Amino acid sequence: MIRSLTGYSTRRPWRVIVVWAVLGVFVAIMGQALVFRVTDTDSAGFLPPEYDAAAALRIAREEFGAEPDADAVTVLVARRDGKPLEDADERRVRDVARELSATRVEMPWTDEQVRGLSEDYSQVPRVAPVATAPDGSFALLGARLRGNSTDPGMQSLYRVFHDRAEREFGEAGLRTGFTGGLADVVDRAEAEETTQTVVGLVMVGLIVLINVLVFRSVLAAFVPLFAVSVVGGAAAGTVVGAALLTGFRLDPGTPSMIGTVLIGIGVDYFLFLLFRFREELRRRPDEHHRLVAADVAGRVGTAVTSAALTIVAAFATLGVATFGQFRVLGPSVAVSVLVMLVASLTLMPALLAVAGRKMFWPSRILSEKAGRAGAAGRTGETVARRPLLVAVASVALLGALAAGAAGVRMDFGTGGTPRDTPAAATAREIASALPPGVSDPTTVYVTADDGRVLDPAGLGALHRALSAVAGVGEVAAPVFDADRTAARLDAYLTVDAQSQRARDLVAGPVREAVREATPAGLTAHVGGTAAVFADVATAVDRDLRTVFPVAAALIALILVVLLRSLAAPVVLMLAIGLCFAATFGASALVFQHIGGQAGVTFVLPLVLFLFVVALGTDYNILISDRLREEMSHGGPARAAVARAVRHTAPAIATAGVVLAASFGSLAVNADPSTRQLGFATALGILLSAFVVSLLLVPAAAALLGRGMWWPVRGARGRRDAATPRSAPEPRGRQEETTLV
């Protein structure tokens, strides 16, 4: 089937290219227009229903009308002259709040929105007074706007509301500040806009520069990037379409993660094709380039399929996770990689068939001698001559980095807002006069098991118990639903609700006090930001214990099937595991031990494991396949190792740098969690490519010899004896699958 696809694509290249161009662009545009309809910004919505915070959220929606897409904004109102608010000022604050609550805010349509597809967020906001500073320096209003906070359309609507409120209060001589929820998201987006644009351009420029330096060709530099961009948009659109059809919700970070992954692996797969295409064009100068392209695509396509399916299988293990953000990430990446795989078997071979030898214009790279050793040849000779030294040095380096994981802590913070934004300045002003939890309270929801009517007196003990907890500044009076069968108590913490201290406080003393003080016959659940992330910590810890062994076992099984060996998969899995430990340890060292952060982001171990293991396995499959091919030709095993490294090192090194650059673009993000993910994944890819695939695995192969392919060593040996390296290759040999 693979050769049928690649063969058709090289025979009818223009037909394939046109289909991809039209269909890919259409799906990409539709996906971009509809993506915000399938994303969910509420972390509590991804928790399993049995968790306390998820139960609290359910009561909030069912009994108190809380909306799943409601975005809270805290509005600070103060006098311009810095004096305390007077009675007239407070009346004006209340009057403006009523006016804002009665006025519809129209969403401005921009070029980013498509009418009929993009969501229209025009609405009448809910604005109400929340609190006044003890010294009267400012008053706080709570505003509720409904919509996806990551949607540019929703952000535009917020700006309209922001400007209107600022104008209304400004006419009365009052100044305003905005923070919390949507205000934080918009300010962060504006603060990062320039940085993200520059980083994106630098990443594209770096990929082009690498290809220019390697191939010394214009087409070889730009064609892969163009093709991968089209395919990446089509893959993201396919994920969005699947989400719409199946009803599952995506985490807001999933689309950007998909784009980053696909640019990296897509360019990698194209590079594998280009390197082999160049090698075969040199070897067969008189053969028509379409025949060469068909042969190369068939060989590389089989191995690329194996590598892509390994990634798909690894991410499929996230289906056993309990935390919803992990469960949606798995199938999303899997679907995207499958789309890229189809492109690797159709679009990429078609482009090679059309371009032919012009793919490497204007360089004379095809007329140059392929026999020059260079750095790749010297590396192969070093590994073959001193495999034990290379293996020990590689293990020592990875082990030293892994030691950084000692004392590592998980950080469940949301990243917060950059300190130099208006939202951050407003938050600091509020915190100077009021408890940090005022704008983001921890809420206790109480319901009666028998549905009886609740009264304030019956909740007095619970109110007093919460008030007595150290770290709780104040507890508001109970608020009841319409039929008084449910009650809500807001507890204002003295620490930031997004901090580790808040999560420890809620998970421990607050929930313990609620359990002990809740009257018989009543059920209480603790919700709010701190409670949500306390439960997320529990869910993630459970998932790590489940997904890690399942993913490792599945990848090992795939390697056994692909390599038809028991010894080689053991070597590769040990090397991969050591690479993961080294990357994780280095990340903890950089961000926690040296950088002074609270810990590493809670998603890092799982995402790092899957990306480094799954994507790194691509390179291991590449080198292992070539090692087996070279050993099958007979002769000393160490000489075969030297040849394998020499042929594969350029492809692995180039692909590793490109993939690392793709993930590394995330390392300059203002959000600490994203920054950690970008740095760690880029480092893991580099270690996997340069240390594991080019040094450690070949060194192990040189030490083990043909025993690397046990238990089929005997069959190999008989064929090796019958087929010397210098003999012409039989026709069957030409059909063997090799990457480069």
Q: What superfamily would CATH give domain 546-717?
A: Multidrug efflux transporter AcrB transmembrane domain (1.20.1640.10)
pLDDT of residue 738: 37
- DSSP 8-class letter at 420: T
Closest CA to 614 of 308, 255, 259, 335: 308
- DSSP 8-class letter at 444: E
CA distance readout (Å), 97 to 32, 90, 422, 450? 35, 11, 21, 39
pLDDT of residue 269: 83
Closest CA to 255 of 15, 35, 481: 35
Residue written as tokens 């994507």?
615
pLDDT of residue 724: 39
Closest CA to 330 of 320, 339, 340: 320
Closest CA to 215 of 363, 357, 352: 363
User: Long-range contacts: 13-20, Cβ < 8 Å, 24+?
Assistant: 13/290, 13/349, 13/350, 13/351, 13/353, 13/354, 14/350, 14/354, 16/346, 16/347, 16/350, 17/347, 17/350, 17/351, 17/354, 20/230, 20/231, 20/234, 20/343, 20/346, 20/347, 20/350
* Domain 422-533 CATH assignment equals 3.30.70.100: yes
Average pLDDT over residues 462-467: 92
Query: What is the average pLDDT value for the chain, to the nearest integer?
Result: 83
Domains 67-187 and 422-533 share a fold: yes
pLDDT in tens, 534-592: 888 888 888 888 888 888 888 888 888 877 888 888 998 899 889 999 999 999 999 88
Lowest-confidence region among 85-94, 257-266, 355-364, 666-675: 666-675
Average pLDDT over residues 698-710: 89
Strand boundaries in 64-171, DSSP class E: 70-79, 126-132, 139-146
Lowest-confidence region among 305-309, 380-384, 474-478, 482-486: 305-309
Whole-angstrom distance, CA of residue 212 vs CA of residue 221: 5
> Given pLDDT bands bounded at 50, 70 and 90, which one contains residue 207?
confident
**Are 688 and 619 within 8 A, CB to CB?**
yes
pLDDT in tens, 613-656: 777 777 888 888 788 888 888 788 899 999 889 888 888 888 88
pLDDT of residue 413: 62
Query: Domain extents for the chain?
Result: 67-187, 422-533, 546-717
Helices (H) and strands (E) in the chain, counts: 24, 11
> Given pLDDT bands bounded at 50, 70 and 90, which one contains residue 730?
very low
Phi, psi of 474 (to 5 degrees): -160, 150
Whether residue 725 has pLDDT greater than 70: no
Whether residue 180 has pLDDT greater than 90: no
Average pLDDT over residues 503-512: 92
Percent of the chain with pLDDT over 90: 23
pLDDT in tens, 387-400: 999 999 999 999 99
pLDDT of residue 115: 66
Whole-angstrom distance, CA of residue 557 vs CA of residue 430: 56
User: 3-class DSSP state for residue 466?
Assistant: helix
Average pLDDT over residues 434-441: 74
Average pLDDT over residues 37-47: 73
Lowest-confidence region among 341-350, 396-405, 600-609: 600-609
Average pLDDT over residues 76-96: 91
Whether residue 480 has pLDDT greater than 50: yes
Whole-angstrom distance, CA of residue 525 vs CA of residue 523: 7
Sign of CA dihedral 520, 525, 531, 536: positive
> Given pLDDT bands bounded at 50, 70 and 90, which one contains residue 466?
very high
pLDDT in tens, 408-423: 887 766 555 555 788 8
Phi, psi of 633 (to 5 degrees): -80, -5
pLDDT of residue 372: 54
CATH number belonging to domain 67-187: 3.30.70
Average pLDDT over residues 28-38: 83
Whole-angstrom distance, CA of residue 302 vs CA of residue 577: 26
pLDDT of residue 368: 57
Cα atoms in the Cβ-side hemisphere of radius 13 Å centred on 490: 15
Closest CA to 217 of 367, 348, 362: 362
Whether residue 49 has pLDDT greater than 80: yes
- Residues 6 or more apart whose CB falls under 8 angstroms from that of 257 comprise 329, 333
pLDDT of residue 732: 37
Report which residue type is found at 193: E
Whole-angstrom distance, CA of residue 238 vs CA of residue 226: 19
Find out whether the peptide bond into 362 is cis, omega within 30 degrees of 0.
yes
